[in-house]
Amino acid sequence: MAKAASKNAKVKDLKAAADAKNWTKVIRTVRSPKTGAYTFKESIVHKDKIKEFLGN
């Protein structure tokens, strides 16, 4: 028989899922000064800090 998950484990998973919704993957293009080619900078940023990341 399979072991039943405890109630505490379910509560932790719900909290983690709710916190995970506050993070976003942001991809920004960056131009190389040497070659002029574009590269991509990827980062996972909190939703409140997206404008700061894109502003740099």
Strand 23-31, strand 38-46: pairing? antiparallel
Closest C-alpha to 18, from 10, 6, 26: 10
Does the pLDDT value for residue 3 go beyond 80?
Answer: no
Query: What tokens does 6 get?
Result: 């405890």
At 35, is the pLDDT very low, low, confident or very high (cuts 50, 70, 90)? very high
Element (H, E) at 19: helix 7-20
At 19, is the pLDDT very low, low, confident or very high (cuts 50, 70, 90)? confident
- Please report the pLDDT score of residue 26 as a whole number: 93
List CB contacts of 47: < 8 A, sequence separation 6 or more: 22, 23, 24
At 9, is the pLDDT very low, low, confident or very high (cuts 50, 70, 90)? low
45 with 22: CB under 8 angstroms?
Answer: no
- Please report the pLDDT score of residue 55 as a whole number: 85
